[in-house]
Amino acid sequence: MNDTAVVAVVLAAAAGLAAGRAWAAARRRDDAAAGAFRLLPHYGQGLQYLATGERELALSAFEKVAREEPQAFDIQLVLGHLWREAGQVERAMQVHQALVARLDLSRSQRAQARVALGQDQRAAGFIDRASSTFEEVLDGDPKNLQALEGLQKVHEDQRRWREAYDIQVRRQRLRKSDDSLVLGFLRAEIGREALAGGLVDEAGSAFEAALKLDRRVFPAYLGLADLALASDPQRAVAVLGEAIAAAPERAYLTFERLARAWAACGAPGRFGDLCDELIRGDPRDWRARVALARQRRAAAQPEEALGLLLRALSENPQVLLVHMEIWRTLRSLGAEDQNVARYGAACEEAVFYRDPHVCTSCRYRADDMLWRCPQCHSWNSFVEERVSPGADR
Ligand SMILES: [Zn+2]
């Protein structure tokens, strides 16, 4: 790897992808005449600050470079990206807008400046303006990957899954890459939307298509199970079984549906068997114990429920949901006075994340399984947040 490539990689890692990619693209042009700024000491300092993740210092170093070489396109472009990443979107827009207005740019520079402006507009929530900025770039250069990516994100933000799907296909063709997992998740979203609108056939074929693209598209199994639950619970059971086989770590997401499906098949005990099996396989599987306890409580067997929950508690004392189930079970056992009721209610209201899931790409937390991260836009990146019990256990 030569120095230029190293710098591009460091920037991509340290400063956020947008600045890094812009930088790499700028460097590829290798325009010696316009590169005098690279000899300035602040430039090297700025790179070092970027590499160590000190964005504020990098910004001030690059601003000094920009004062000495105000026409340096690369510096202005990266400065704008850094302002945006620092949350100063207005300022980023001013910088990139000024670049777009310049008359001395090459075609590809103009396209880069426009794409950057589109990214600013999207970050500022100007969805329509961002869309048309990206589309303008694509009118001149239909193969501009960054503009395609920006436009796809706008569509995804707006839940326009079909449009996002079409763009993902175009990007994969251009990159000659295959990311069928993302395509699968987009198909599943199309299916979920059809399901919500009552378009049953359309939903079914979207879910099937999603699984044909990639067997790991978990929401597609859940959607197929929802479609089958009322008319053909046996099929719902089978589909959910496939889901668990494809991604055992996500099994708990099927519990509610599986319990209903087995009940509709006239064999509610089978769900209990599954939970027992999961607990035997992993004694720390508190989710299976909680699911089983809920079933027991619903079947008017609160003592059994409490036993299961106390075992879950001794294995996973850090899981708040287990405690909440215990309070509810105690309530149904009648072991409650007014003060206990107040305590339970206060806890339930105070809990910010009762069942935290976390994005493995950016650490974004949510109270539910999300298939697309609202912060970094990764697909399938959420897992349960696992907090270890205290060290003295
Ligand atoms: Zn994320």
Length of the chain equals 393
- Hey, how many other C-beta atoms are within 10 angstroms of the C-beta on 33? 5
Indicate if 268-349 has the same CATH topology as 3-124.
yes
Q: What is the pTM of this model?
A: 0.77
Checking if the pLDDT of 177 tops 60, the result is yes
- 383 C-alpha to center of ligand 1: Å? 11
Options 1.25.40.10, 2.60.40.730, 3.40.50.1100, 3.20.20.70; CATH of 3-124: 1.25.40.10
pLDDT of residue 392: 43
Which tokens is 101 given?
Answer: 């207005």
CATH number for the domain running over 179-266: 1.25.40.10
CA distance 163 to 150: 12
- 367 C-alpha to center of ligand 1: Å? 14
pLDDT of residue 393: 37
pLDDT of residue 26: 55
Checking if the pLDDT of 1 tops 50, the result is no
pLDDT of residue 23: 59
- 357 C-alpha to center of ligand 1: Å? 11
| Residue 227 one-letter amino acid | L
Could you give the maximum distance between any two Cα atoms of the chain, in Å?
Answer: 82
The domain spans of the chain are: 3-124, 179-266, 268-349, 352-393
Residue 344 vs residue 93, higher pLDDT: 93
- 371 C-alpha to center of ligand 1: Å? 10
- 370 C-alpha to center of ligand 1: Å? 10
- 124 C-alpha to center of ligand 1: Å? 19
Checking if the pLDDT of 204 tops 90, the result is yes
pLDDT of residue 6: 46
pLDDT of residue 388: 55
Checking if the pLDDT of 197 tops 50, the result is yes
Residue 7 vs residue 216, higher pLDDT: 216
Query: pLDDT tens across 231-285, in order?
Result: 999 999 999 999 999 998 899 999 999 999 999 999 988 998 989 888 898 888 8
- 247 C-alpha to center of ligand 1: Å? 20
CATH class, domain 268-349, is: mainly alpha
CA distance 120 to 182: 24
- 154 C-alpha to center of ligand 1: Å? 16
Find the mean pLDDT for residues 25-40.
61
Confidence of residue 21 (pLDDT cuts 50, 70, 90): low
Q: Name the CA dihedral angle for 373, 196, 199, 268, rounded to a multiple of 10 degrees.
A: 100
Find the mean pLDDT for residues 123-130.
94
Sheet holding 357-359, edge to edge: 365-366, 357-359, 382-384
Query: pLDDT tens across 367-376, in order?
Result: 889 999 988 8
Q: Which residues contact 276 (CB under 8 A, 6 or more apart)?
A: 288, 292
- 22 C-alpha to center of ligand 1: Å? 21
Q: Which residues pair with 372 in a beta bridge?
A: 379
- 366 C-alpha to center of ligand 1: Å? 10
- 343 C-alpha to center of ligand 1: Å? 34
- 127 C-alpha to center of ligand 1: Å? 21
Supply the angle between the helices 107-123 and 89-101 in degrees, to the nearest 10.
160
DSSP secondary structure letter of residue 380: S
Placement of tokens 């979207």 in the chain: 206
